[in-house]
Amino acid sequence: MIDFTFTEEQEMFRKAAREFAETKIAPRVAEMEETGEVSDAVVKAMGEAEMMAITIPEEYGGLGLGYTERLIAIEEVSRVSVAAAMMLQVFALGIEPIVKFGSEDLKKKYLPGLATGERLSTTAVTEATGGSDPSGIRSSYKKDGDDFILNGRKCFITNSHIADTVTVLAKDEDDPKAFCAFVLDKDMAGWKATHKEHKFGMRGCNTGELAFENCRIPASQMLGEEGKGLRVTMSAIGDVGRGGMVGVALGLQAACLEESIKFANERILYGKPIAALQTIQNKLADMKIDLEAGRLLGYRAAAMQDKGLRSSNEFAVAKYYTTEACQRAAKMAVDIHGGYGCMEEYAVSRYLRDAYVVGPSAGTSDIMKVIIGRWALS
């Protein structure tokens, strides 16, 4: 029989992540919601709690853990704060290409700082002309001796204004089929964070634009082979990006269900808690079914990833299912809360706003269906 249980150690990781989220992040959620700004205290705490170190190999100062552990950590953080979980998920998107495709020098240069949170990372692929279809990007590079000169703009970049280490994808100015991925850091001239977005959800997680103007990049900063950068970033987004969003969505689903159960047991109607009403039980059952199904899909894909198997299609299914399910869960949670659900004092109103920002991150549901459809037909 297939073993669907977590190991004792994984259960302990979950406990550690939950304790961390409840003690270090929960007290900052109101402030993040109010200001819409990243909480420095949360970012610092995530570094101290080794949250960024999970999948970084031990020889570079990381914990050398797997993607299952990463999924557990993101789920637990998201259960408390979707915004913090999104930050965490995207830190890994900046880290993964360096781990998988970086030269030894790049790994030694960046990974130890990224593991401790001293450096913060992101990945910059999306542009107005290409996100889910990265081949449509317009940011371009040209060779100048041993260097590359980068020009262009990136949009909807999570961690745009807090990241100091960025993985960027650009197209060869003279060859539209050739792409390169580079690591940029704050010490390099010619790039900066510009416009800051104001989202209706996931407040406290920074999203914005990055601009590159004649940014000179030494060849040593290139990830993977010249011209094959698309593979570098897609490999990170396909598995790690979708996987991270599954964790974000699962945590949000769990939070919706927990808050709904709590409220349904406390709210008295017709002399009984509303949890005694079948119509409420139906909603709770739907949320529970979605959560269980989502966990099976997500953790199966993570287990495959840990075995070194290709898991991007399985993650596409899990990403589609869980991000849709978290929107359903958030709506039902607000419905169960009735009028209270519209009040900002109740977390479910935040869940509803967050749920609709989770959807398009790392590829919309429609794009997931395109991928899943291709997989089915292949």
Partner 1 sequence: MRSQNRIHIMLNIVVCVKAVPDPKEACNIKIDPATKTLLRCDVPMVVNPLDKNAMEVALQLKEKTDVRITVLSMGPPEAGNIVKEGLALGADRGILLSDPAFGGADTFATAFTLAKGIEKIGHHDVILCGMASSDGSTEWVGPQIATFLKLPVVTMVKEIVKTDVPWWKVKASIDNGYRLMQVKLPAVFTVTREVNTPRTLSFSGIIKARKKEIEQWGIDDLGVSSESVGLKGSPTIVSQLKTTEGKREVEFIKGTRAEKAEFLVQKLIGTGLL
Q: Which amino acid is at 29?
A: V
Tell me the closest approach of the beta carbon of residue 361 to partner 1, in angstroms. 25
For partner 1, the closer of residues 267 and 369 by Cβ is 267
Work out the number of other CB atoms within 10 angstroms of the CB of residue 318: 30
Tell me the closest approach of the beta carbon of residue 209 to partner 1, in angstroms. 34
For partner 1, the closer of residues 38 and 52 by Cβ is 52
Tell me the closest approach of the beta carbon of residue 304 to partner 1, in angstroms. 22
Angle between helices 312-337 and 278-306 (to 10 degrees): 160
Instruction: Please check whether residue 319 is in contact with residue 284, taking contact to mean a CB–CB distance below 8 angstroms.
Output: no
What string of DSSP letters covers 269-325?
A: ETTEEGGGSHHHHHHHHHHHHHHHHHHHHHHHHHHHHHTT---HHHHHHHHHHHHHH
Tell me the closest approach of the beta carbon of residue 191 to partner 1, in angstroms. 33
For partner 1, the closer of residues 63 and 74 by Cβ is 63
Instruction: Please check whether residue 165 is in contact with residue 119, taking contact to mean a CB–CB distance below 8 angstroms.
Output: yes
Tell me the closest approach of the beta carbon of residue 240 to partner 1, in angstroms. 18
For partner 1, the closer of residues 56 and 371 by Cβ is 56
Binding stretches for partner 1 (CB under 8 A): 8-9, 11-13, 15-16, 19-20, 23, 49-50, 53-54, 63, 65, 69, 265
Count of H helices and E strands in the chain?
Answer: 12, 10
Tell me the closest approach of the beta carbon of residue 138 to partner 1, in angstroms. 40
Distance, in Å, from the CA atom of 244 to the CA atom of 132, rounded to the nearest integer, reads 16
For partner 1, the closer of residues 63 and 217 by Cβ is 63
Distance, in Å, from the CA atom of 155 to the CA atom of 64, rounded to the nearest integer, reads 31
What string of DSSP letters covers 186-247?
A: TTSSSEEEEEE---SSSTTS-EEEEEEEEEEEEGGGEESSTTBHHHHHHHIIIIIIHHHHHH
Torsions phi, psi of 318, nearest 5?
-65, -40
CA 345 vs CA 23, 171, 264: distances in Å: 19, 47, 17
For partner 1, the closer of residues 66 and 190 by Cβ is 66
For partner 1, the closer of residues 25 and 230 by Cβ is 25
Tell me the closest approach of the beta carbon of residue 259 to partner 1, in angstroms. 14
For partner 1, the closer of residues 179 and 263 by Cβ is 263
Tell me the closest approach of the beta carbon of residue 294 to partner 1, in angstroms. 21
Tell me the closest approach of the beta carbon of residue 279 to partner 1, in angstroms. 22
For partner 1, the closer of residues 273 and 360 by Cβ is 273
- Exposure string for 333-359, b = 16+ CB within 10 A, e = fewer: bbebbeeebeeeebbbbbbbbbbbbbb
Instruction: Please check whether residue 249 is in contact with residue 86, taking contact to mean a CB–CB distance below 8 angstroms.
Output: no
Give CA angle at 110 (197, 211), nearest 5°.
30
Instruction: Please check whether residue 281 is in contact with residue 102, taking contact to mean a CB–CB distance below 8 angstroms.
Output: no
Tell me the closest approach of the beta carbon of residue 9 to partner 1, in angstroms. 6
For partner 1, the closer of residues 69 and 172 by Cβ is 69
Sign of the C-alpha dihedral computed for residues 106, 109, 115 and 121 taken in this order: negative
